[in-house]
Each structure stands twice: as structure tokens, then as C-alpha cells.
A and B are shown apart, each in its own frame.
Chain A
Amino acid sequence: NAGVMQNPRHLVRRRGQEARLRCSPMKGHSHVYWYRQLPEEGLKFMVYLQKENIIDESGMPKERFSAEFPKEGPSILRIQQVVRGDSAAYFCASSPETGADEQYFGPGTRLTVT
């Protein structure tokens, strides 16, 4: 049973470009969470999605950031017009459909904005 998958693992973008981060949850999981980890800091919640629905986006910056989890395919976190402050590790986590508390994390995407 494969774990949570994320790609790419490393992403370098110039200021002003777009970054697309992908997350495939564990098999049988339909809840996806995105977290951001700045260097030497803890994880901060960004957004929680179920298939085709955004459930909680209270941690998402108001501009440039968006997320989706389509009926088919991975969840995508999109950052438009990246700035140096977006450089961080972005982790997604997944949990099962039936109300389980546990969240299992993917390996993360390390975004560097030059």
C-alpha cells in the first residue's frame, strides 16, 4: 500500500513564475490537507479538501494561492507569481474517508524561489 505521494520533490522557480505542487493521497483516503513549513519552523495549516470540495481554506493566503482536488487525479496546490517568501517545504497529508483522526504525511515538495 503506497503512502502519500508528492511531486516534484524539489522545485525551483524564478520570481513571478507559477508553481504547481501535486499530492496523491494514500489508497482509500479521500481527505487531503496541505501544510507549509518555513525553514526552522513548525508546520502551518493551509487548506483541507475532499474530492471536488474545499472544506477549510482558513490558512490559505488571500492572493496567489489556490488548491483543488478533482474527481480524478491528484490534489494540486498552485502558487501564482511566486515571491522569495514562498520558499518553503510544502507537505500534504491524507486521512481516510470514515472519520479517522490520523493524518499521514507525504515526503514534501521543497520550493525554492530565486
Chain B
Amino acid sequence: GENVEQHPSTLSVQEGDSAVIKCTYSDSASNYFPWYKQELGKRPQLIIDIRSNVGEKKDQRIAVTLNKTAKHFSLHITETQPEDSAVYFCAASKAAGNKLTFGGGTRVLVKP
């Protein structure tokens, strides 16, 4: 089955700097890659996603890139703010109506 690895497990950045989180997946049939943000004690919130027919997607300060050949995808957060502090999870699935396989999570701390 699918296996998703996520790095780093923790990331500490100064406010205003950029944060980058990387994930790799094993199943070449996967074609949907969402990113979730989870604050302490809260639900995972979908913040951005990318499908295999595009290589990059941007939404304000967050962007995701996908390299299907290498089977890895990354989340980029620019101009980080304290409210960006949370745990971020990447995930992969094969198609609509399929389970998400999650990475282990990255705890991001933005220091003011």
C-alpha cells in the first residue's frame, strides 16, 4: 500500500521567514495530494491541495509543488506569522472516493 514520509518532524522559524515541509510517497498511482493544518486539540483543516496534472499551486502565502517523477511534494509558507504555528500533515490518495494516507506530521513553531 501507499507510504508517505514527511520531513522535518519539527521546524522552528523566525517570524517573517519561510518554512518548507517535504513529503515523499511510494505509490505512483496516487494523484491527489492535500495538506492539512491542525492546531492543538482541533480538527485537521484543509489548507491547499494539488493534483497530479499540475506541478505547482499557490494561494496567498502558501504554495505546493509536486514532482511526480521523483514522487515528492512540498509545502512552502512565506512570510510566516505566529498564527502559522501548528502541526502540518501531508497526505496522498489515488482518486476521489479513496482513503488518504498521511505523513507523520511537522510541528511548526513561528517565533515572534
Tell me the A residues contacting B by CB distance below 8 Å. 31, 33, 35, 41-45, 48, 55-56, 58-59, 91, 93, 95, 99-108
By the criterion CB–CB under 8 Å, are A59 and B51 in contact?
A: no
Is B82 an interface residue when CB atoms closer than 8 A count as contact? no
Please report the C-alpha to C-alpha distance between residue A14 and residue B6 in the assembled complex, in whole angstroms.
Answer: 35
By the criterion CB–CB under 8 Å, are B89 and A101 in contact?
A: no
By the criterion CB–CB under 8 Å, are B101 and A45 in contact?
A: yes
Please report the C-alpha to C-alpha distance between residue A107 and residue B43 in the assembled complex, in whole angstroms.
Answer: 5
By the criterion CB–CB under 8 Å, are A56 and B105 in contact?
A: no
Nearest B residue to A43 via CB reads: B102
Question: Within the complex, what minimum Cβ distance (angstroms) separates A56 from chain B?
Answer: 6
Question: Within the complex, what minimum Cβ distance (angstroms) separates B87 from chain A?
Answer: 9
Please report the C-alpha to C-alpha distance between residue A93 and residue B36 in the assembled complex, in whole angstroms.
Answer: 12
Which chain A positions have C-beta within 8 A of B95?
101
Can you pick out 14 interface pairs between chain A and chain B where the beta carbons lie within 8 Å of each other? Answer: A35-B102, A43-B89, A44-B102, A48-B98, A56-B99, A91-B43, A93-B100, A95-B97, A99-B96, A101-B32, A101-B51, A103-B46, A105-B43, A108-B43
